[in-house]
Amino acid sequence: MALDEDALICDFAEYYHIYNIYEFPPEYIATLAKGLRDNSRIKLKLYGLRVDIEMLLLAHIVDNTAINIYAKTKDAKKGINKPPSFVELLSKKKETKEKAREFNSGADFDKEWRRLNGNGIR
């Protein structure tokens, strides 16, 4: 649960139709969590994957096919216009836009809110 509580709750709702995991003893929840499929949200997170293994294998097949076709082109001889890798795209970590900000007081928050929203006109 410490890894990603939301993912675990979503998996339990989807697979077991359990919408409040806190109604059950922790040992029972742990047993059910262990029984989740390898493509469940929490297990993908545990393995450090964004997509399941089957999707990565399909992406690998696509990448290899594209490289084989590319290898027969004039661009390949020049080393330009190499096709993009789907495996790399699917394996990339999601980029975080901006970290959450802390405010020392409600007044500081209000001041920043007004600044971001054009002096509070909206």
Q: What is the tally of structural domains in the chain? A: 2
**Do 96 and 122 belong together in one domain?**
yes
**Do 58 and 117 belong together in one domain?**
yes
Q: Residues in the chain, how many?
A: 122
**Do 108 and 72 belong together in one domain?**
yes
**Do 69 and 119 belong together in one domain?**
yes
**Do 70 and 36 belong together in one domain?**
no
Encode pLDDT of 62-81 as tens digits.
999 999 999 999 999 999 99
According to the model, what pLDDT value does residue 119 have? 61
Q: Looking at beta carbons, which pairs linking 24-29 to residues 24 or more positions away fall under 8 Å?
A: none
Residue 97: which domain range?
52-122
**Do 58 and 114 belong together in one domain?**
yes
Distance CA 62, CA 79 (A): 20
Encode pLDDT of 4-31 as tens digits.
999 999 999 999 999 999 999 999 999 9
**Do 112 and 70 belong together in one domain?**
yes
* 122: pLDDT strictly greater than 60: no
pTM of the complete model beyond 0.85 = no
According to the model, what pLDDT value does residue 115 have? 86
